[in-house]
Amino acid sequence: MKRTTTTLADGRELLYFAADGESVHVQPDPRRLPAVSTASQMRLDPLLGEWVMMASHRQHRTFRPPEDDCPLCPSANGRQTEIPSAAYTVAVFENRFPSLSPHAGPGHVDVRHPLVPVRPGYGRCEVVCFTSDHHARFADLSHDQVRVVVDAWADRTEELSALDGVEQVFCFENRGPEIGVTLAHPHGQIYAYPFVTPRTRRMWEVARGHRERTGGNLHADVIAAERAAGLRVVAETTDWVAFVPAAARWPVEVHVYPLRRVRSIPELDDAQRQEFAGLYLDLLRRFDRLYDAPLPYISAWHQGPVSDDDDLGYLHLQLFSVRRAADKLKYLAGSESGMDAFITDVLPEDLARRLREV
């Protein structure tokens, strides 16, 4: 993989990723841009012990622009975008409207609450553009293009994990306005958090308890149980298995695990990365054949914290959608939003069968 680094007009970093042998044409960014906000802050919820990010400047971020004003398309015909070059394979740049910033300052915040500490919103938020084709879906990419994306995820995870103060790196993709996407161009994001996220922290607590009770690795035992049952397995290759979890929370949900345990994307070897690209494309195309229209989804990589001293981590991908029928969405209503107690509308076994059939 080839990586080329440059900067945008306001000093943000921009990286181009391409396969070995591909040419990369770096162009300067001629725009005049205001300084990126450094006002992000974090406040601790005293009832749950969880950090909440405050980024009021994001109210002014770009919202569903027309195609001819897309900020993620290559620059062309005199129109300058976030990508100064005329074409690219994969481009990654610091978010112009970040929830977390490496330059976050202390500010002058007094919440007048002794139980709510306030910290600068230190971290980093990056945008990952999977292709220069505005009309493509991730499922439309070639195997080789997906491999470049995987290598880019690995590169960014490794580099962001090395930043002082970063405790967890999260790579993800949101697709579809139904789940809040504001830019139609195929892209994902990466968050480098200065804390361990609530879901990961809870997963670690459960995994630690499982090991104390059984001596086993929770994720490995879940994989073994799903493969033995077979009911919910959607696809399996030499190095990976994809299944609908037995207690799925979402109407469409698939977990994808490497059969050889690793804790983060950079730890995947060449064979695992190659095989994942094909399996992931297969799953996304199955998702899009469930109904007449492309499925809105969230694709979330669960990597362990930067510091995994207890050796509990097991890298996996959670791929899920809020669409529960061709004309119905799953909304987080009272039980889910108020109590975080999920009610599932679709049986996991039925979903797995349908995904295998399509």
Strand order in the sheet with 187-193: 2-7, 13-18, 90-94, 124-129, 187-193, 168-175, 297-302, 316-321, 252-258, 240-243, 233-236
Catalytic residue annotation:
187
